[in-house]
Amino acid sequence: MQDKNAHILSTSSDLLGLCLVVVSVMHSTKASDASKIDKFAGIAALFFMASCFLSFLSMRSKNLKRSHKYESLADGVFIIGLFVFVGVIVLASFDIIA
C-alpha cells in the first residue's frame, strides 16, 4: 500500500507544479482567453493538492482501515484532477477556449 501512496504523492505533486506553471504563464500573458484556461488549471491544481494531502495522510496513518480510506480518496481525487487537466490541455491545444 505504501508504494501506491508514494506514486500518487509524487505524480500529483509534479502535476500540481505543472498546473501552477500554466496558471502563472497565463496570468503573465494577460489575454482574455487565458482567464478560462488558468481557472480550469487552478481547479485541477486544487484537486492535485487535495490528492497530495490525502496521500500523505494515508502514509502517515497508523490505522490500516483509515489509511486505505485515505488512499482510495487520494486516488479518486487524483483521477478527477487528471481529467480536468487533460481537458485544459485539449481545449488549449485545439483553441476551443477562445
Going by pLDDT thresholds of 50, 70 and 90, the confidence category of residue 12 is very high
Query: How confident is the model at residue 92, as a pLDDT?
Result: 80
Q: Indicate if the pLDDT at residue 79 is higher than 90.
A: yes
Buried b (16+ CB within 10 A) or exposed e, 63-72: eeeebeebbe
Q: Could you list the residue range(s) of the whole structural domain that residue 26 is in?
A: 2-93
- 38 contacts 26 by C-beta, under 8 angstroms: yes
Query: How confident is the model at residue 1, as a pLDDT?
Result: 47
For residues 74 and 66, give the distance between their C-alpha atoms in angstroms, rounded to a whole number.
12
What is the pTM for the complete model shown? 0.86
For residues 58 and 14, give the distance between their C-alpha atoms in angstroms, rounded to a whole number.
18
pLDDT in tens, 18-64: 999 988 887 777 665 567 888 899 999 999 999 999 999 999 988 98
Percent of the chain residues topping a pLDDT of 70: 88
**Has residue 98 been placed in a domain?**
no
Please state the domain count of the chain: 1
At a CB cut-off of 8 Å and minimum separation 6, what does 69 contact? none
Q: Indicate if the pLDDT at residue 84 is higher than 70.
A: yes
